[in-house]
């Protein structure tokens, strides 16, 4: 192509781009309609989070106090406290070596101070305890699986084996029963008849059996159910008041038969309770997607997840209607995180707008789960950092300051407690999600999510003045911005999340 024609072509393309951008900026106002007198259900959904044990939670860690403050300020019920598992074995596996005829390797010294702080910070709130990892020596492997001597070193290769050396899983059950007894009964008697004193008499509200067993060890529905029954049977004797959470499935879209099998009481031992099930959701883009496309991928995947949740709820109601549901990991994830287990991993800086997009996805999923009657909507997670799922962070891994994901969770937690009425709400745009709530005292509130990375004008269902709290790309690591509206519309920035409280 001659140079002159190339210049003209570039100019015309540039003009087209400007015209396209200009037309996209001129979105018509979005109308929100609410039928305040039409109740969908009474909300029973608790906004909460996943908390993992790690070296960042040591008392000597520079992030310790910031993490504790974030938890205390949130004040959430059903925080899911997960041991370090196979990534940090010393923080999640309390008997790293098999017992011999003369000694055992029980050691709570690394995790105990962390657990004590978590118990203190969440005191007065129900807690889900999830020391999920089974010691590797309980699996059949070609040779003993090593673990790092340094508790701060990650052990991505620690998890191995898929078949227990004790197929009845009684050995696994007794291991977890001792872990629970350490926390609730002041200690336990080990395999050699020796007493191990803890002095702890905490209440364990929920005990979750394993974590993502479909990923970790690739357990079948039958194998997992055998382990669940073995654990619950003995833990229940140690702590009769504890309720149990099962499945902890990483990929609910791919395992409908897992739910059909596990939720059928006929597949369990007599008397084994099915108190709760749990599963997870992460929106993940393709590795070759540009960041500008993530907004479409994330919300499309969120819609699919909510459809799957509705399907699983149908299975649950048919087979075990008294069982509740926790969605106890909710987040978005960047493909770069999956390379962290490989040699040469290099952290790629995350653009600031991503945190607001991820926060908006959580708000969107929370509203969908609340409409379905799911008991818990737990955002994931604290703490994370480069090399340890950085794109699901809720706090800055260097300063400990909350990011938009934390602030949106807190905004929802403080605004929409269980007990509110969820009322019929709609918008005339697929770019905006709105869900209205009515408190027991008659206060009208509206959750609004902008699914696009541009400012949109939202026409509100009431013309009276209203208080608005907003998390958007201008608030950064700060708490929500608050302002009073004088008119019937709201300008909401790209990926913004707002709570509108209407003045009577």
What's the pLDDT score for residue 2?
40
What's the pLDDT score for residue 465?
77
pLDDT one-digit tens code per residue, 328-379: 999 999 999 999 999 889 999 999 999 999 999 999 999 999 999 999 999 9
Which residues, in sequence order, are bridge partners of residue 422?
41, 437
pLDDT one-digit tens code per residue, 38-76: 999 999 999 999 999 999 999 999 999 999 999 999 999
What's the pLDDT score for residue 86?
84
Domain 28-40+422-502, classified CATH 2.60.40.1180, yes or no: yes
d(CA 178, CA 442) in angstroms, rounded, equals 48
Q: Which residues contact 75 (CB under 8 A, 6 or more apart)?
A: 125, 413
What proportion of the chain, given as a percentage, has pLDDT over 90? 90
| pLDDT for 227 beyond 90 | yes
| pLDDT for 487 beyond 90 | no
Which residues, in sequence order, are bridge partners of residue 438?
421, 444
What's the pLDDT score for residue 321?
98
Domain 44-418, classified CATH 3.20.20.80, yes or no: yes
Which residues, in sequence order, are bridge partners of residue 82?
52, 130
Among residues 254, 262, 253, 143, the alpha carbon closest in space to that of 210 is found at 262
Strands 466-471 and 497-502: antiparallel
Angle between helices 294-319 and 352-372 (to 10 degrees): 20
What tokens were used for 85? Answer: 């598992």
* Cβ neighbour number for residue 170 with a 10 Å cutoff: 15
Q: Tell the residue number behind the tokens 């898929």, with chain if given.
A: 162
Strands 456-459 and 489-492: antiparallel
Q: Where in the chain is the domain with CATH 2.60.40.1180?
A: 28-40+422-502
* Cβ neighbour number for residue 183 with a 10 Å cutoff: 26
d(CA 207, CA 201) in angstroms, rounded, equals 15
pLDDT one-digit tens code per residue, 146-194: 999 999 999 998 999 999 999 999 999 999 999 999 999 999 999 999 9
Gap between the terminal Cα atoms of the chain: 67
What's the pLDDT score for residue 152?
94
What's the pLDDT score for residue 369?
98
pLDDT one-digit tens code per residue, 399-446: 999 999 999 999 999 999 999 999 999 999 999 999 999 999 999 999
d(CA 158, CA 87) in angstroms, rounded, equals 7
Q: Where in the chain is the domain with CATH 3.20.20.80?
A: 44-418
pLDDT one-digit tens code per residue, 290-343: 999 999 999 999 999 999 999 999 999 999 999 999 999 999 999 999 999 998
| Higher-confidence position of 281 and 6 | 281
Global pTM value: 0.94
According to DSSP, residue 80 is labeled: E
What's the pLDDT score for residue 8?
37
């Amino acid at each position: 192509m001659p140079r002159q024609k190339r210049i003209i072509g570039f100019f015309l393309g540039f003009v087209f781009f400007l015209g396209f951008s200009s037309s996209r900026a001129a979105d018509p106002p979005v109308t929100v309609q609410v039928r305040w007198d039409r109740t969908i259900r009474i909300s029973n959904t608790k906004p909460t989070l996943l908390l993992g044990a790690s070296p960042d939670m040591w008392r000597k860690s520079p992030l310790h106090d910031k993490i504790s403050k974030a938890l205390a300020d949130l004040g959430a019920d059903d925080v899911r406290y997960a041991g370090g598992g196979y990534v940090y074995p010393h923080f999640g596996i309390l008997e790293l070596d098999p017992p011999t005829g003369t000694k055992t390797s029980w050691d709570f010294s690394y995790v105990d101070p962390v657990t004590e702080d978590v118990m203190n910070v969440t005191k007065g709130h129900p807690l889900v305890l999830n020391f999920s990892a089974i010691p590797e020596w309980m699996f059949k492997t070609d040779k003993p699986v090593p673990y790092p001597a340094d508790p701060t070193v990650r052990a991505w290769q620690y998890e191995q084996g898929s078949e227990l050396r004790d197929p009845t899983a009684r050995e696994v059950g007794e291991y977890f029963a001792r872990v629970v007894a350490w926390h609730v009964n002041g200690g336990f008697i080990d395999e050699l008849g020796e007493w191990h004193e803890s002095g702890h008499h905490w209440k364990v509200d929920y005990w979750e059996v394993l974590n993502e067993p479909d990923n970790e060890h690739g357990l079948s529905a039958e194998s997992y159910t055998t382990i669940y029954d073995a654990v619950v049977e003995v833990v229940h004797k140690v702590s009769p008041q504890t309720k149990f959470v099962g499945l902890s499935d990483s990929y609910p879209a791919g395992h409908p038969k897992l739910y059909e099998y596990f939720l059928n009481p006929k597949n369990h031992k007599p008397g084994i309770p099915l108190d709760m099930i749990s599963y997870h959701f992460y929106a993940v883009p393709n590795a070759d997607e540009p960041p500008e496309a993530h907004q479409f991928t994330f919300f499309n995947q969120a819609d699919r997840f909510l459809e799957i949740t509705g399907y699983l709820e149908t299975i649950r109601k048919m087979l075990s209607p008294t069982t509740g549901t926790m969605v106890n990991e909710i987040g978005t994830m960047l493909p770069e995180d999956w390379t962290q287990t490989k040699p040469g991993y290099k952290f790629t800086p995350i653009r600031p707008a991503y945190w607001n997009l991820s926060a908006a996805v959580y708000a969107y999923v929370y509203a969908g789960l609340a409409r379905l009657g799911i008991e818990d909507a737990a955002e994931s997670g604290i703490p994370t950092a480069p090399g340890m799922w950085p794109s699901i962070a809720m706090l800055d891994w260097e300063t400990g300051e909350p990011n938009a994901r934390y602030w949106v969770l807190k905004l929802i937690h403080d605004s929409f407690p269980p007990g509110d009425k969820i009322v019929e709400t709609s918008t005339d745009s697929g770019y905006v999600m709105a869900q209205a709530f009515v408190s027991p005292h008659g206060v009208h509130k509206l959750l609004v999510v902008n699914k696009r990375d541009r400012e949109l004008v939202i026409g509100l269902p009431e013309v009276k003045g209203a208080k608005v709290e907003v998390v958007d790309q201008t608030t950064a690591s700060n708490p929500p911005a608050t302002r009073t509206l004088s008119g019937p519309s709201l300008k909401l920035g790209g990926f913004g999340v707002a709570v509108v409280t209407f003045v009577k």
